[in-house]
Chain A
Amino acid sequence: MSVAEDTLEKTSSQRDGSAVPTLVVENLKTHFFTRAGAVKAVDDVSFSVKAGEILGLAGESGSGKSITGFSVLGLIDPPGRIVSGAIRFNGEDLVTASPERLQDLRGNRIAMIFQDPMMTLNPVLRVDTQMIEAIQAHRKMDRKAARQRAYDALEMVGIPSPGERLNAYPHQLSGGMRQRVAIAIAFLNEPDLIIADEPTTALDVTIQAQILHEAQALCRRTGTAMIWITHDLAVVAGLADRIAVMYAGRIVETGQTDEVIDHPLHPYSVGLLGSVPSANKRGDRLNQIPGMTPSLIGLPSGCAFKARCPRADDHCDATPEVIEEMPGREIRCHHPHRQEAGA
């Protein structure tokens, strides 16, 4: 039985129960306690993902989006620590779960794909070793069967002649090929959730498009929930069902992809979209958000974006609360772009 068929069966059953989100993150705070002070990398973040849904988590580097992903996996190393909040995965709280339980879930029910395919595969181990160990870590399966499963997974992500690739060392494969191997590893144990941390950033544009397409198709087919972390809104625009925009450790805007892209409400989202070159803006000046991403140490109170925000005023010295503009559309801002949204 191939992995694809295997997962297809499960999909239908999961789709039915999709009312309960696969992952719910509530008021998550992950801080790093350095000598210079506490870095609030993730500060009061809440979101959820349903089965078969793709959530785009967008933001500049240093906005805390990757740390959010690692928090879900329980891979935060000292001096970092989850300070408070809840991560509910299929109803089970991961913040309070034991390290053994987390290890059991990782790679099994929750998988992750990393940014740089050149670095994620161990250079001194063959591809088959790295795939088989991922299977055998979570289920009793003999080497031969596990290898067959790895073969099927490689085939599923569109790798030609998987038999040869299994015997190869990572450096014998191209970057795009390696990222496909990493994606195949993520799907090996048919996880309920995949966290993809900018998996296409390091790749050529053409390969990027292929991988995006394949990842999307796989998620739809298997009913796997996915969090796609990116700094590039253009990438998630065609991929994600919903988008969450992060800034300085907080989610500043959430909504359906079309709504956020077409009518961004938060000034930061507006700025971020303005800096993306696109066909209908050809000839216009690209906008640029003035200033720099703030240091997360000793962040001043109030809205973290106020120093760079064209709309900031005295109100912004108070931390904006989450406002639900309409169902499924949330922002953290005192002065959202409502007029434009309405126009």
Chain B
Amino acid sequence: MSEFMIRRLLQSAIVILAMSAIVFFGVNVVGDPVDMLINPEADQADIEATIRALGLDRPIGEQYLFFLKGIWVGDFGKSFIFGQPALQLILQRMPATMELAFAALFLSIVIGIPLGLFAGLRPESNVSKGIMAGSIMGFSLPTFWVGLMMIIIFAVELGWLPSTGRGDTATFLGMTSSLFTLDGLSHVCLPAFNLALLKISLVVRLTRAGTREAVHQDYIKFARAKGLSSRRIVGVHLLKNILIPVVTVIGLEFGSLIAFSVVTETIFAWPGMGKLLIESILVLDRPVIVAYLMIIVALFVLINLVVDIVYSLLDPRVRLKDQGA
């Protein structure tokens, strides 16, 4: 077990190192580092000073080590626009993004699983066919386009829900979130649903496939032969079996929720780190871009690591293989 953990941790470290190299050389070799790392509005003396301060006159290998050292202590440089350390800026925006991602995760489970169950239990009914058609649409429609449609319908035409911003926030158990106020909740509705759409489609498919497989299993027929109510058969016997793989996949997809929040946040003016990234790209605020990229890579690596480890704890076969190795 511990050997597996160490190997996995090492792999993760290598991935992060490799990504740091890609990001570094992307910024420093493909583009002109002076352009990219120095505020374009600085004067000549400033530029000279900053070049020296940033070590841009040194050999490229040395610069990379310097960059790595910066990452290690969490120093990505200061934002040109805000004048704050880039990392701090991103961390400030992170709660809003997490809140949106969690809300979307919640929606994808509470909407996706019942719909998938229904479609799996009654595959021939028209409602199920509608659900599956909807999930195909959910996969193929671009998120931003659905977001626009949602704004037109629910915010502009019907005027039911607000389409921009995060609304009021409140602090509960030390966490500040708009999920704790009614106004905040009304603001989170549209963006969360927009972000969740792809995942809902995914969960519907997974649940439906799991259900269709499970209903033909003997243990379901045996449960029926015991005279259990269909509510208990579906709610306990079936659901408990299909939930494990579905939850695993949803966990793995959390990273992509955060990544895709870039689009949703921009459309709904949600003040999270995704919106910050787009704004930074538009104004060429390189330190923030670099910091965001490294954070999102680290996040992905971390999620994969956690899911791998949890899975190896849950699935006896994975454990066995590791002991054999």
Contact = CB atoms under 8 A, between A and B. Distances in A.
Interface string B210-225: 0000000111011111
A123 B222 CA distance: 12
A333 to B, nearest CB: 34
Find the residue from A75, A115, A133, A138 having the highest chain B CB count within 10 A: A133
Interface in A89-146: 103-108, 111-112, 114-116, 119-125, 133-134, 137-138
B175 interface: no
A110 to B, nearest CB: 9
Contact of A125 (B217, B218, B240): B240
Given A134-B228, A137-B228, A137-B229, A75 B223 contact: no
A137 B226 contact: yes
A137 B227 contact: yes
Query: Size class of A's contact patch?
Result: 20 to 34
A107 B228 contact: yes
A337 B90 CA distance: 90
Given A104-B227, A107-B227, A107-B228, A112 B236 contact: no
Contacts of B241: 122-124
Contacts, number: 65
Contacts of B232: 133, 137
Residue of B221, B229, B232, B241 contacting most chain A CB atoms (<10 Å): B221
Contact of A120 (B219, B227, B244): B219
Given A119-B218, A122-B219, A112 B225 contact: yes
Contacts of A121: 219, 222
B219 A138 contact: no
A123 B225 contact: no
Contacts of A137: 226-229, 232
A235 interface: no
Contacts of A106: 224-227
Contacts of B227: 103-108, 134, 137-138
A185 interface: yes
B225 A116 contact: no
A182 interface: yes
Nearest to B214: A122
Contacts of A73: 225
Contacts of A115: 218
Given A114-B221, A120-B219, A137-B232, A125 B237 contact: yes
Q: Which of A106, A124, A138 has the most CB of B within 10 A?
A: A124
Given A119-B217, A124-B240, A124-B241, A112 B222 contact: yes
A107 B221 CA distance: 12
A138 to B, nearest CB: 6
Nearest to A138: B227
A112 B227 CA distance: 10
B287 to A, nearest CB: 49
A313 B244 CA distance: 59
Nearest to B240: A124
B236 to A, nearest CB: 7
A73 B240 CA distance: 25
A121 to B, nearest CB: 6
Given A123-B241, A125-B240, A134 B221 contact: no
Given A105-B227, A106-B227, A122-B222, 18 more contacts: A73-B225, A75-B225, A106-B226, A107-B226, A111-B225, A112-B225, A119-B219, A120-B218, A120-B222, A121-B222, A122-B241, A123-B219, A133-B226, A134-B228, A137-B226, A137-B228, A137-B232, A138-B227
Instruction: In the A-B complex, list the 7 residue pairs whose CB atoms are closest, starting with the nearest.
Output: A107-B227, A106-B227, A107-B226, A119-B218, A112-B225, A120-B222, A122-B219
27 contacts: A73-B225, A75-B221, A75-B224, A75-B225, A103-B228, A105-B227, A106-B226, A106-B227, A107-B227, A107-B228, A114-B222, A120-B218, A121-B219, A122-B219, A122-B237, A122-B240, A124-B244, A133-B226, A133-B228, A133-B236, A134-B226, A134-B228, A137-B228, A137-B229, A137-B232, A138-B227, A185-B226
